[in-house]
Amino acid sequence: MENYSTSREILTKLISFPSVSSDSNLPLVEWVESYLAGHGIASERVMSPCGTKAHLYAQTGPEIDGGVILSGHTDVVPVAGQAWTTDPWTLTERDGKLYGRGACDMKGFDALALLAMARASTRPLKRPLQLALSFDEEVGCAAVVDLVETMMGALPRAREVIVGEPTMMRVVTGHKGGLAYNVHVRGFEVHSSLLPYGVSAIMQAAKLIDWANQRNAENAARTPSELASPFDPAYTTLHVGRIEGGTAHNITAKDCRFLMEFRFVPGESPQDWARAIEAKAAELTAEMQKIHPDTGIDLNPGFALPALAPEKDGAAETLARRLTGDNGRHVVSYGTEGSQFQTRGYSTVVCGPGDIAQAHQPDEFLSLDQLATGEAFMDRLIDTLCA
């Protein structure tokens, strides 16, 4: 294998793999396996149920508890329909920026983590450095659970997890959780002139969506909790971004479909929100079935992601602050795989190169300055593991 001795060289290779979530990431995983093996580091796969994707984990250093996990994902969002001015699968430098799909979210961090593993393999580590690369982060952050739980049984227990989503190398200690339902409202068709004898799926859907509006207003009016107050907005939000249904303007709609999304703050229970929407759907279903028994509202769970809560005296926060010098209080409203580690007992922070505003955009980029800052962070981490 060619010797990839810089993070930029590794990033160039990672970008060349079009590892969109809908496609296989196995070519990228095979290359990572080869790269690590070239530095004497064994790695293991955790295969997807369909066999077309794989997580990867590895460790270098002593076989003892108390190490650090560098966590990244290998999948990226599609480029179709976006107006790119460069080839999204070829890393391109322009004006101090490196352009390519995933450069920011989050193959830049992956490249830094791989280089750190290689460099750490030649150093006298007192604590191990572990690598966790996942698939399907961009479609819900659920697949990583298999990776986390496999690592828990296969490797010494790490003490800190650093999830490298783009934060401009600031230390993020909390993020909102996510919950979604695919909603199917089943109506009963009649001519619109006979409205009382039919059930309009669209009009019933509007009642459930208005219920979401009411919850948003109530949440906004409530005094934020201590855990919620750093967020913007500082409360749980409910959202419907797309809706479809109906046959004609003069027929009560037989079907209506939409996705209801919750972004809930730490300290609130996703189970409570699930029970709330299920209760409202049951209430509306009972009203609808008074007119026709075949009507109702079906709720099919979509993604479910725990919130990441700031930890009191958290080991990962202490480590990341020492390595970055950042003492600010930072939280984000988007979700990460970090909460899947935290809910399984790992001390976790989010800290990585690049600006989240670049994620998923055409001409996505990572600045050379951020790549250099990330590389210096990794070098300090290795020094810390040797101390």
pLDDT in tens, 89-102: 999 999 999 999 99
- The one catalytic residue in 105, 137, 268, 317 is 137
Q: Which pTM was predicted?
A: 0.91
Alpha carbons 365 and 96: distance in angstroms, whole number: 10
Longest dimension (CA), the chain: 81
- Residue 2: pLDDT over 80: no
pLDDT value of position 237: 97
In this structure, what token pair is assigned to residue 30? 């095979």
Residue 101's region, left for phi above 0, alpha for psi from -120 to 50, else beta, is beta
137 is known as an active-site residue: yes
pLDDT single digits (tens) 366-381: 999 999 999 999 999 9
> Average pLDDT of the chain?
96
Is 75 catalytic? The answer is yes
Strands 54-60 and 129-134, bridge-based pairing: antiparallel
The amino acid at 364: E
Token pair belonging to 235: 């409360």
Asked if the bond preceding 293 is cis, omega within 30° of 0, the reply is no
- The pLDDT score that the predictor gives to residue 333 is 86
Please name the residue ranges forming H helices in 197-237. 201-221
* Positive/negative CA dihedral, 262, 276, 282, 251: negative
- Model pLDDT for residues 22-38, shown as the tens digit of each residue: 999 999 999 999 999 99
The number of residues in the chain equals: 387
- Cα separation, 23 vs 342, in Å, equals 28
Separation CA 341–CA 170 (nearest Å): 19
- From the candidates 33, 75, 189, 268, which is the catalytic residue? 75
DSSP letter, residue 103: I
Report the distance separating Cα 260 and Cα 245, nearest Å.
15
pLDDT in tens, 196-206: 999 999 999 99
pLDDT one-digit tens code per residue, 117-134 = 999 999 999 999 999 999
How far is CA 126 from its chain centroid?
31
Binned at pLDDT 50, 70 and 90, residue 4 comes out as confident
